[in-house]
Amino acid sequence: MQMITYDTHEIFTHVLTPEGAQIAKDGSHEARVWAALPARGQGTPVTPLQLKKAVGDETAKVGQGRAFKNGWISKEGDGLVKATDTIQDQTKEDLQEVASTGTLKAGEKVLADLRKRKLVIQKKGQWFTVHKGPQFSTSTAKPETDLTADMLVSGSWKTSTFKKYNFDAEGTPTSGGALHPLLKVREEIRNIFLEMGFAEMPTSSFVESGFWCFDALFVPQQHPARDLQDTFYLSDPKESLPPNPEYYKRVATTHEHGGYGSVGYRAPWSHEESSKLLLRTHTTASSAHMLYKLAARCRGETPEGDSKEFTHGAASTTETGQPSEDDGFRPAKLFSIDRVFRNETMDATHLAEFHQVEGVVADRNLTLADLIGSFNVMGHLQATQRLPGFMRVFFSKMGIERVRFKPAYNPYTEPSLEIFAFHPLLDRWVEVGNSGMFRPEMLEPMGFPKDVRVHGWGLSLERPTMIRYGINNIRTLVGHKTSIEGIENSPAVMF
């Protein structure tokens, strides 16, 4: 409004500290030390211990040095005596002047020394000179903020006072959508897979049959994971459509009687158990579907659907690098990231619905060393061109350099390994995934040649997300306790 204008003035002054006020009243430490001593030759010299008792520890400690420096005292034997008959206590006089005037005629150098000794402190004062402004008025009126149609019609805008625009003011932040931390981590992991040459599997089948979720993976029908305690079964419809009859028969025979070098489980086969519909407990069921499609050429069949995009077209090679007889097999690297469902007791680290990250590599003559130590990429490299194991490469891209593997048991992989990574914030090793080589009892009934091996491994999506964002309770990551503001403000993830 510019009703008034004003000028700002600053003034600096000094005031005494409590120690400075004491010196202005009773004298400086050095003067009090001098006063406590006898004149030379007129009394017994005062020892340092006697001086402390007379004037106090602090005054004796500080005053002796300055009194010696000024030439006011000297030593005589084991004690101290006056070296001069009279003294001028300049420190006391300066502090008394500061107390009365706020400054010192002696100048800034002396004031700086007093500030250094913490006897005075500087204070800043401010005052204003006020003048009438160009819009000065003895009455106040609220300025208009908008030019309205009524003002234009009546002409009142000509005499109205308008509030000035503040072009430096920030606008109201616009609201918009934000990606959930799980989606950010999912995209980062997905990019790592794609960067390593993996193809993404379709994983839209949340409902699977017991056959594809368990039987095709050589999980025994009596396995605890198939109980209601771990699995959500559908009540309507209850049964799935039958799989390929020949493949179904091979799987059932392998379970019940063995085959492909295995004695099987020697337990009765239940068609009812195999045909039950359920919410998938792992995305390995989708991997089983894709591996069955991948083996179609080996069975002499035409691959179903779009399975060609998941294979690397050239025929495999032997370990010597020479082309093998084309039996229809093509190497493949596949991955998926999607939801799975288990009848878990929910707590800080478990939910009934979560995400599984899974990778599968199929090639000839793969070994466990290829899985964890070195990896012959898609069978096209010579034996002297072997590269680091893809699991170590994968975790290094996630920023996890320290990885360990521990033998474990899985029904559909042998050997099997649990994957541990060192967590620097927790300062301990934590389990981050599971891995292994799919059993021949799973692969050969699909039609794969005997020398084809398949690596499989996976981890959850929630655990690395919780570690990345410092979340200790999964229920604050997913569910009604999730903070919308926290999602909007969560940073981008970079492993």
d(CA 401, CA 393): 9
Instruction: Write out the H or E segment, with its range, that includes residue 58.
Output: helix 57-70
Q: What is the DSSP letter of 80?
A: E
Radius of gyration of the chain measured on its C-alpha atoms: 43
**Cα dihedral value 236, 242, 243, 248, nearest 10:** 120
What contacts 424, CB < 8 A, 6 or more positions away?
A: none
What contacts 284, CB < 8 A, 6 or more positions away?
A: 217, 358, 412, 456, 458
What contacts 67, CB < 8 A, 6 or more positions away?
A: 30, 33, 34, 73
The partner residues of 94 in beta bridges, in order of sequence, read none
Q: What's the pLDDT score for residue 231?
A: 87
Q: What are phi and psi of 146, to 5 degrees?
A: -135, 145
What digits encode the pLDDT tens for the residues 392-425? Answer: 788 888 777 788 888 998 888 989 989 888 777 6
Residues of the chain with pLDDT under 50: 306, 316, 318-323, 374-387
Q: What is the DSSP letter of 458?
A: E
The partner residues of 349 in beta bridges, in order of sequence, read none
Residues recorded for the chain: 495
Q: Which two tokens stand for residue 303?
A: 């691959």
d(CA 79, CA 72): 14
Spatial contact of 151 and 157, defined as CB atoms under 8 Å apart: yes
Q: What is the DSSP letter of 363?
A: E
| DSSP secondary structure letters along 306-342 | TGGGGS-SSPPB-TTSPBPP--S---EEEEEEEEEE-
The pTM assigned to this predicted structure is 0.59
Q: What's the pLDDT score for residue 291?
A: 92
Other C-beta atoms within 10 Å of 136: how many? 12
Catalogue all structural domains in the chain, each as residue range(s) with its CATH number.
4-128 (no CATH), 183-312+329-374+388-489 (3.30.930.10)
Taking each continuous run of H as one helix and of E as one strand, the counts in the chain are 17, 15
d(CA 392, CA 435): 12
Q: What is the DSSP letter of 415?
A: E
Q: What's the pLDDT score for residue 382?
A: 37
**454: nearest Cα among 363, 378, 385, 326:** 363
